Amino acid sequence: MTDRALVVVRAGALTTVQDRGRPGHAHVGVGLSGALDAPAAALVNRLVGNPPGAAVLETTLNGCSVRPRSEVVVAVGGAPCAVTVDGRPAPWGAPVQVAAGSLLDLGAARAGVRSYLAVSGGVAVDPVLGSRSTDLLSGLGPPPLTDGMVLPLGPAHGAHARVDIAPQPAPPTELVLRVTLGPRDDWFTPAALRTFTTREFQVSSASNRIGLRTEGPALERSVGGELPSEGMVLGAVQVPPDGRPVVFLADHPTTGGYPVIAVVRPSDLPAAAQAAPGTPVRFTAVRRRG
């Protein structure tokens, strides 16, 4: 019987298993999770013949290395990086056959933050609440990869795509996030709202899968005190006491007590996943609540 599995040789800074996440559980305190750059994950799955929701590996900044125990087809997308098989260059953004026992290496991101590795059959770790995704906040799903870990693979579903390379958007050199103001924009001064929608911020190195943190001007509140905990949604822009906005990403908490000044449009969040530390950030109000 074919041993369909990946052996992790180099786990990298942070590599996790991700799929489309586990929606519908926020009422019990379980967030969505899933691939931060969902279009990139869906594309590499399509390149290897997987369904779009198959589990992939999401790397952070410096890639990873794996060794398949059987012949597989792989594809790498998201943040551009060098791809090699047994030390020989292989294409990024295209299907690649990898023989059993060969070493597949994803190098450091040349731009952006997160690269995605799809393998024919998908990563077949046990699902939790309907998803194989790692949730760093709750601890649900498989743990982040470590050297020597063995990841099972599912059976291959179909033929891989016949393309030389699939076009993918470049990581942003400036991150423009369209927002709907509210529900707590009235907790901030008019000057703070002008600052929020007209001034430039930068992506902080403290950003992670939970939230994109920013550096820049502090937003002054007009209302003191604390809010009771409220429900939080993907893309909520929460403002902690230091006044610097935080954009909630896939592993965000389901409740929070700091005011939410605005919510980012979902279609802008994949670019946020690829915004490296220091990238300029601008928030653009496109519609007010009410």
User: Could you tell me which residues come within 8 angstroms of residue 88 by beta carbon, excluding any fewer than 6 positions away?
Assistant: none
- The verdict on residue 233 lying in a domain is yes
Quote the pLDDT of residue 17. 98
pLDDT for 4 beyond 80: yes
Q: By C-alpha distance, which of 79, 119, 82, 81 is closest to 98?
A: 119
Residues 141/73, Cβ–Cβ less than 8 Å:
no
Residues 17 and 134 in one domain: yes
Domain, as residue range, for 107: 5-152
Exposed, middle or buried: residue 139 (CB in 10 Å: 0-12, 13-18, 19+)?
exposed
Residues 211 and 280 in one domain: yes
- The verdict on residue 167 lying in a domain is no
Residues 112 and 12 in one domain: yes
Cα–Cα distance measured from residue 264 to residue 284, given in angstroms and rounded to the nearest whole number: 9
- The verdict on residue 162 lying in a domain is no
Residues 63 and 146 in one domain: yes
Cα–Cα distance measured from residue 117 to residue 29, given in angstroms and rounded to the nearest whole number: 29
pLDDT, tens digit (0-9, with 9 covering 90-100), for 108-167: 999 999 999 999 999 999 999 999 999 999 999 999 999 999 999 999 877 776 665 667
Domain boundary, last residue among 97, 117, 152: 152
Identity of the amino acid at 253 = P
pLDDT, tens digit (0-9, with 9 covering 90-100), for 180-237: 999 999 999 999 999 999 999 999 999 999 999 999 999 999 998 888 899 999 999 9
- The verdict on residue 157 lying in a domain is no
Structure tokens at 53: 């929701």
Residues 115 and 27 in one domain: yes
Residues 189 and 113 in one domain: no
Quote the pLDDT of residue 224. 83
Quote the pLDDT of residue 44. 96
CATH of the domain at 214: 2.40.100.10
- The verdict on residue 168 lying in a domain is no
Report the number of distinct structural domains present in the chain: 2
- The verdict on residue 70 lying in a domain is yes
Please give the order of strands across the beta sheet that includes 150-152: 88-90, 81-85, 104-109, 64-68, 5-10, 150-152
Residues 146 and 199 in one domain: no
Residues 19 and 129 in one domain: yes
Q: By C-alpha distance, which of 241, 246, 243 is closest to 213?
A: 246
- The verdict on residue 252 lying in a domain is yes
Residues 115/59, Cβ–Cβ less than 8 Å:
yes
- The verdict on residue 272 lying in a domain is yes
Residues 121 and 257 in one domain: no
Residues 16 and 110 in one domain: yes
Q: Model's pTM, two decimal places?
A: 0.95
Residues 148 and 195 in one domain: no
Domain boundary, last residue among 105, 137, 152: 152
Residues 137 and 9 in one domain: yes
